[in-house]
Structure 1
Amino acid sequence: MTGPGCPDLASTARRPALTLSTYKYDAARWAGCPWNRGHVTPHTHSILRLLVILACLALLIGPAVGASGAPSAPTHQSVPWEWPLANIPPVLRHFDRPPEKWMAGHRGVDLGAAQDLEVVSPSDGKVAFVGTVVDRPVLTIDHGDGLLSSFEPVTASVTVGERVREGQVIGRLSSEVHCPGPCLHWGVREDGEYVNPLNFVSDRRPSVLLPLHGPS
């Protein structure tokens, strides 16, 4: 002992590992020891807590910053696509994500169009599917990075495996019924999940609903 209540350093080194509660007690008891020199004080545990909090914050913030210190890259939806029709169409029915995958909803948008109108690829990609689903012809383009566009009813002018460019004609609107009037259904999947196709186009004008029948 080097003073009242002060153990020598050799005896403290032989002690088992201290818990936080015993460390707080020893910090207060050893505060006046001559060999302490302020290294063990009643406030030491508060400093340790602060260091732990700062380390946790560094772990949380670190993944959001790349190795170069720059913020992470923007998401797919920040890159604008072209509309799949030559002229910007009115939106007849909007995307409506169901609360559960098995529930009813609208997994895409319906765009007003004239029958036999050309359909174009909204972005570069590769034809992934051409065929009939239920009773309507469907065409799917794989844009890469987990993004796929599907169109119906479309009579395709491209084949599976063919690479297409943004704005390239990929087919024409077919006569099969999807809406009360002629329309193109456009669906987009991102990593297997249906997302709103309108998030991928740059023009976000208010929608215009077309009448079911022509003017009388």
Structure 2
Amino acid sequence: MELRLLLRIVTLSAATALMLICGTSEEGSGAAEALPALETAPAPLLTPPVSPVELVRGVDLPEHPWLSGHRGADLAVATGALVRSPADGVVSYAGTIAGRGIVSVLVEGTGLRTTLEPVDATVDVGDPVRQGDVVGRVQSVATVPGIGHCAPSACLHWGLLEGDDYRDPFDWTTGWGPIRLKAAG
């Protein structure tokens, strides 16, 4: 690549970065409109499935789907605790996989799917649910090593999928959401 072209690309990249950091108004006020990427975060629409919320382990999404990681949030609970639907939607799965009960809710109007485990379901596939409706109780297998996600302690594993891609449910949760820096101004 010609040196002159390379210098021009670097200069334009630096200028773009500076505009995003400092703003694009004449005064360089750092107005929020200079940071459009901050506006693309999801609007909160979920509520935590248990209360109180005590995060044991957060989401650690791998760079590629085949790599190890943690594809959900683990919330401290007691066995038998009520589990509520994080959103309005329809139950898309209520059954057992690998010794754990799982409830999955297709979130109304979004294509998102939230999963909860280990749960003794009190709902069936196809049931409509409203945000906050009880969908089951935390199973006692939550404390069984090899079955319970946080055994010997109990936790509820809360996952969120957008299509086949895992997301952090707290990025979509009222009162939580992604961390954002406030623009100077």
TM-score by length of 1: 0.58
* 1:152–1:80 distance in 2 versus 1, CA, 3 Å: same
Q: In structure 2, how many angstroms separate the alpha carbons of the residues matched to 1:98 and 1:113?
A: 26
Q: Deviations over 1:131-162 (max 9, x none)?
A: 11112111100013210000000000000000
Cα distance, 1:202 vs. partner? 2.2
Report SS of the residue matched to 1:187.
Answer: strand
Q: In 2, Cα distance between the equivalents of 1:182 and 1:119?
A: 13
Instruction: Kindly provide the CA deviation profile for residues 39-64 of structure 1, in whole angstroms up to 9, marking residues without a partner as x.
Output: xxxxxxxxxxxxxxxxxxxxxxxxxx
Q: For the Cα contact (< 8 Å) 1:118–1:171, is it kept in 2?
A: yes
Matches of residues 17-166 of structure 1 in structure 2 within 5 Å? 77-85=42-50, 87-144=51-108, 145-166=110-131
Secondary structure of the structure 1 residue equivalent to 2:140: coil
Tell me if the contact between 2:106 and 2:113 (Cα under 8 Å) persists in the aligned partners: yes
The 2-side partners of 1:203 and 1:112 are apart by: 18
Deviation, structure 1 residue 89: 1.3
TM-score scaled by length of structure 2: 0.67
Residue 179 of structure 1 is matched in structure 2 by 150
| Contact 1:117-1:173 within 8 A present in 2 as well | yes
Asked whether the equivalents of residues 44 and 171 of structure 2 are also in contact (C-alpha less than 8 Å), the reply is no
5+ long unaligned stretches in structure 1: 1-70, 206-216
Partners in 1 of 2:42 and 2:131 — Cα distance?
Answer: 16
- 4+ runs of 1 displaced by more than 4 Å? none
Instruction: Mark the structure with the bigger radius of gyration.
Output: 1
Per-residue deviation, residues 16-44 of structure 1 (Å, max 9, x unmatched): xxxxxxxxxxxxxxxxxxxxxxxxxxxxx
Letter in 2 for 1:161: G
Deviation at 1:201, TM superposition (A): 1.4
**Cα-Cα RMSD:** 1.9
- Could you say which residue in structure 2 is the equivalent of 1:9? none
Conserved? CA contact 1:146–1:192, under 8 Å: no
Can you list the C-alpha shifts for 1:173-192, whole angstroms capped at 9, x where unaligned?
A: 00112203111000000122
After TM superposition, give the deviation of residue 115 of structure 1 in Å: 0.9
Partner of 1:190: 162
Give the structure, 1 or 2, with the largest relative contact order (CA under 8 Å, sep 6 or more).
Answer: 2
